[in-house]
Amino acid sequence: MILIDGKQTSEAIKAELAAEVENLVRNGGKIPHLAAILVGNDGASETYIASKVKACKKVGFHSSLFRFPDTISETELLAKVTEINNDADIDGLIVQLPLPKHISEKKVTETILPEKDVDGFHPLNVGKLALNLPTFVSATPFGIMQLLERYKIETAGKHCVVLGRSNIVGSPVSILLSRNTYPGNCTVTLCHSKTKNLEFYTKQADILVAALGKPGFVKANMVKEGVVVIDVGITRVEAPGTEKGYRIIGDVDFDEVAPKCSYITPVPGGVGPMTIVALLKNTLLSLKNKQELLTKNPIT
Amino acid sequence: MILIDGKQTSEAIKAELAAEVENLVRNGGKIPHLAAILVGNDGASETYIASKVKACKKVGFHSSLFRFPDTISETELLAKVTEINNDADIDGLIVQLPLPKHISEKKVTETILPEKDVDGFHPLNVGKLALNLPTFVSATPFGIMQLLERYKIETAGKHCVVLGRSNIVGSPVSILLSRNTYPGNCTVTLCHSKTKNLEFYTKQADILVAALGKPGFVKANMVKEGVVVIDVGITRVEAPGTEKGYRIIGDVDFDEVAPKCSYITPVPGGVGPMTIVALLKNTLLSLKNKQELLTKNPIT
């Protein structure tokens, strides 16, 4: 059994990104710049945003954090998004979700310029993904693809079973792994809450992607010998006596399942650390896309 | 075995649409207007466009056909698309594919205003489909959903196996049937040219959608008793002695497979006739969407 080390992989990618930024700067190029909007004071959101800002610093990106109280109106927030859309120095913009109930997440997401939508949530970018056109792949699916690629896991002709049909993980992963490319060319089965006899499918999986949000749900008797397991679950469960008072548990019962796997991602330290790297890669890609456009259509 | 009669179903829907148009006119409303662009003289394209124009007439829509020689430049064609985008009387615009090699189909598709893209090919509309947002579903997937619905075929919890991952059939059908709605809530497996041991999957299918373009490919030994078969194949094969000199053959060996089915679509007369109806329904939907927007944001 090989443990897929997302922490190590993400550090390796960050080192590559840092080298690329250094190279850009040496050649007089622009430094990639990620902007983030945070509304309110949700604890988990604070943590996520802090680690994104920290990651930018680590690889030499500029970052700007715009904070607003949760009393900000939708109109004001949309105006800020538009302002950032028009700021030529900013390459990528993310708005940390969830937003307060009086603000439409859909409207905010659709207001972000698709060219700066490094979260890959804008419908135009989701459509490009489905059509296999170049685009920003959203964080978790991107991270999963990177792990499969960096660990050189064979995917062509394999049966990949995806548990969960969310817009941010299950659905895009099932689309990406069906595509005629690497990683891809899997026969993909997408399972969800309405699937009957789930074990019937999980037992067939050469690659199992668990993105249900049910801690410890996948047991040893549900998978076959030699399976590749990608565990996307990150549920906080109370753990009295530990320093934080909680532990992060994946969708897979690791202790039971790991011995049967050829590869498995741990939780934490598997898919999680890869998601921030995806954001950084997309921000650099946005800068490169803009420069390519400028080369083709120079402003004279 | 119940034969799914696409011809009859499409006629029934056309009658409903005609009644709706009559009602619109009676209330002083606008008549739906579909515009089509045809470049060159390809025989199959001529036939498709002619039947689309005819269908518009039948339900009381206005239609405009813009024809161009295959020497038209990409710039000229894009200018025409923009002109139609700006024509307030036109609700839907389709550009018949394929286009001559010197014109980028991608560029043309992306120039059509998403609000008038009744073919549902624009990446923004594909993205909305993937995100389960209201949009124009493209013709063949829309037709398949209508057939399942009108024949009240149960889909929730069923295993749907889709053969073929094309952007216009296999991929969108697999997305639609996975959604948390009716028709939908299937466990969906998407198979394609890189799938190994295809029969392993087809034998599991409660619903089998064949969109491979391989005439007569699906045989009786590949399906289980009671399967619902949707045959999307339309391959022309030579048939000397017949009036047209060819026959249209589906992806399923109908004579062999039909006796095992609970439902099956014939070819021709199954999915085919439904595709034009989809276009009409989308054009009417476009008109309704525009009117709803006007009600919310009246021009004063």
A144 & A264 share domain: yes
Structure tokens at B7: 């011809």
* Residue of B142, B95, B100, B143 lying closest to B122 (CA atoms): B95
B66 & B162 share domain: no
B100 & B224 share domain: no
What's B34's domain CATH number? 3.40.50.10860
A223: in domain? yes
Q: Do A130 and B167 touch (CB under 8 A)?
A: yes
A124: in domain? no
A145 & A99 share domain: no
A258: in domain? yes
Instruction: Give the pLDDT band of residue A296 (cuts 50, 70, 90).
Output: confident
Instruction: Give the pLDDT band of residue B299 (cuts 50, 70, 90).
Output: low
What's A202's domain CATH number? 3.40.50.720
A174 & A262 share domain: yes
Complex ipTM, two decimals? 0.95
pLDDT of residue A292: 81
Average pLDDT, stretch B49-78? 97
Query: Would you say residue B293 has pLDDT above 80?
Result: no
Using a pLDDT cut of 70, give the percent of chain A over it: 99
Q: Do B127 and A122 touch (CB under 8 A)?
A: yes
A18: in domain? no
Average pLDDT, stretch A100-116? 97
pLDDT of residue B297: 65
Residue of A126, A172, A195 with shortest CB distance to B187: A195
B107 & B143 share domain: no
Average pLDDT, stretch A143-157? 98
Q: Do B189 and A192 touch (CB under 8 A)?
A: no
pLDDT in tens, A30-72: 999 999 999 999 988 999 999 999 999 999 999 999 999 999 9
Average pLDDT, stretch B229-252? 93
Which residues on chain B are in Cβ contact (under 8 Å) with A124? Answer: 123-124, 127
A255: in domain? yes
Sequence-ordered list of residues with C-beta below 8 angstroms from that of B22, at least 6 positions apart, any chain:
B60
Average pLDDT, stretch A166-173? 97
- Domain final residue, candidates A98, A113, A128: A113
Q: Do B157 and A130 touch (CB under 8 A)?
A: no
pLDDT of residue B132: 94
B92: in domain? yes
Sequence-ordered list of residues with C-beta below 8 angstroms from that of B53, at least 6 positions apart, any chain:
B36, B63, B65
Beta-carbon-side half-sphere exposure of residue B135 (alpha carbons within 13 Å): 27
pLDDT of residue A295: 74
A160 & A90 share domain: no
CA distances for B274 relative to A13, B138, B139, B271, angstroms? 49, 11, 8, 5
Mean pLDDT of chain A: 96
pLDDT of residue A291: 84
Query: Would you say residue B244 has pLDDT above 90?
Result: no
B150 & B261 share domain: yes
pLDDT in tens, B194-237: 999 999 999 999 999 999 999 999 999 999 999 999 999 999 89
B126: in domain? no
A75 & A172 share domain: no
Q: How many domains does chain A have?
A: 2
B73: in domain? yes
Kindly provide the residue ranges of all beta strands, DSSP E only, lying in chain B, ordered along the sequence. Answer: 2-3, 33-39, 62-68, 92-95, 159-163, 187-191, 207-210, 227-231, 235-238, 246-249, 261-264
Query: Would you say residue A174 has pLDDT above 90?
Result: yes
B38 & B149 share domain: no
pLDDT in tens, B101-115: 999 999 999 999 999
pLDDT of residue A298: 61
How many other C-beta atoms lie within 10 A of the C-beta of residue A68?
15
Query: Would you say residue B95 has pLDDT above 90?
Result: yes
Query: In sequence order, which ranges of B131-169 are alpha helices (DSSP H)?
Result: 139-150
Which residues on chain B are in Cβ contact (under 8 Å) with A175? Answer: 130, 171, 175
B94 & B189 share domain: no
Instruction: Give the pLDDT band of residue B298 (cuts 50, 70, 90).
Output: low
pLDDT of residue B292: 82
B41 & B105 share domain: yes
Q: How far is B70 from chain A (nearest CA, A)?
A: 26
Q: How far is B291 from chain A (nearest CA, A)?
A: 20
Please give the residue range of the domain that contains residue B231.
Answer: 139-271
The pTM is what? Answer: 0.95
Q: Is A203 on the interface with B (CB under 8 A)?
A: no
Task: Give the Cα separation of B119 and B235 in Å (integer).
Answer: 22
